[in-house]
A = this chain, B = another copy of it.
Amino acid sequence: MITPEALHELFTETRSRSEEICSFLKTEDYVVQPVVDVSPPKWHLGHTTWFFEEFVLKPNVKDYQIFNDRFAYVFNSYYESAGDKVVRSDRGNLSRPTVAQVYDYRRYVTEKLLNFLNSEELSDHLKKVIELGCHHEKQHQELLLTDIKYILGNNPLHPEYHEAFDENPIQDFPQEWISMDEGIYKIGHNKRNEFCYDNELGYHKTFLQEYQISNKLVTNREYLEFMEDGGYEQVLLWHAEGWDWVNQNEIRSPFYWYKVDDAWQQYTLAGLKPLDPEAPVTHLSYYEAFAYAQWKGLRLPTEFEWEAAQQNFDWGNRWEWTESAYSPYPHYTKAPGALGEYNGKFMVNQKVLRGGSVATAPNHLRPTYRNFFHPHLRWQFTGLRLAK
């Protein structure tokens, strides 16, 4: 169980980092929602705050005065069982509360929660809820960065977020195949004292056939070869749904790639830059990752293959699409009540991604971490690693 000191530190650090991420924004940048998957930054700031108010302060602090009783309606996201909420696609239609009011809300809740942390001997359950609230906010920190990228990167003026943000660390080592033996492997989280999400449990055995997995992510250079070989026009490389998606959306390159005067440029959080051929390719859908693997005569690893082999390669710069659908592990159980909505209700029609990204919050990476998205989505820092 997390110590009070560690929890205090985790909470303080988490709350301030969200605000630091937003410190480079203009007021207007906090407000817009260019597509339904992206939320306005001020919504993220409010929603993560509401989580602490709703699940910690309101039920546990005597005479707690809610900051504004309409905010639950504005900042609840998907907890159907925690009451009514603004339709997701309307988040960008709300000019109020203003950014200043949202920061007031944050200060108010942060202070109340610090008071609560300091004054009370917290139950283990409550410590866990607060710890979950911090990890929840860290998840939203990653979304803040990817949503800000979407907001600025799809603006015709292509403003930069921060000139020093480096999205594209180079893998300066040769590609090699890591061989893994057939056998039984243990999968899932088993460190009793460390935080994990419910979907990383239960810890269980799985059988893997012999396989090989690359030590290196696929690069822009390699992906360009696929494009230049007509990868987007060869139906047999694609899933049926992927093919429909490619054609309906006229997809011909990864997201954020712009052809300017016959040369590929890539919008990054540091602005529009020439495409770096050695950087790991990113902003791909699962469909594209799969088609690329087909074209190479190879395949994506399952999430179990990835986890079993991960000690043998570097990871953490890209969320790596796996072949695995997002399903419950054996003996998976949901938390009771609204917190049980956290993960389980998404376990259909999504694909697992493993690893982490340049936008992931510090200390938020784990070998057992299961990220998940619908197969067509591309605004996260997604990438791919091959297996055979």
Contact = CB atoms under 8 A, between A and B. Distances in A.
Interface of A: 26-34, 70, 73-74, 78, 80-81, 86, 90, 92-99, 151-152, 154-157, 159, 184, 204-207, 209, 235-236, 238-243, 286-287, 290, 299, 323-325, 327-328, 330-331, 337, 340-341, 345-349, 351, 375
B155 A28 contact: no
Nearest to A345: B240
Q: How many copies does the complex hold?
A: 4
Given A240-B78, A328-B323, A97 B31 contact: no
A34 B92 CA distance: 8
Nearest to A29: B95
B29 A239 contact: no
Contacts of A341: 236, 240
Contacts of A205: 207, 209
B156 A70 contact: yes
Contact of A347 (B26, B73, B74, B239): B239
Contact of A375 (B29, B287, B349): B349
A31 B81 contact: no
15 contacts: A27-B98, A28-B30, A31-B32, A32-B32, A33-B93, A34-B90, A81-B236, A95-B151, A209-B330, A241-B348, A242-B348, A243-B345, A286-B348, A287-B348, A290-B348
Which of A73, A154, A238, A241: most chain B Cβ within 10 A? A241
Contact of A26 (B96, B239, B242, B351): B96
A240 B94 CA distance: 24
A28 B27 contact: yes
Nearest to A210: B330
A209 B206 CA distance: 9
Given A97-B157, A204-B209, A345 B238 contact: yes
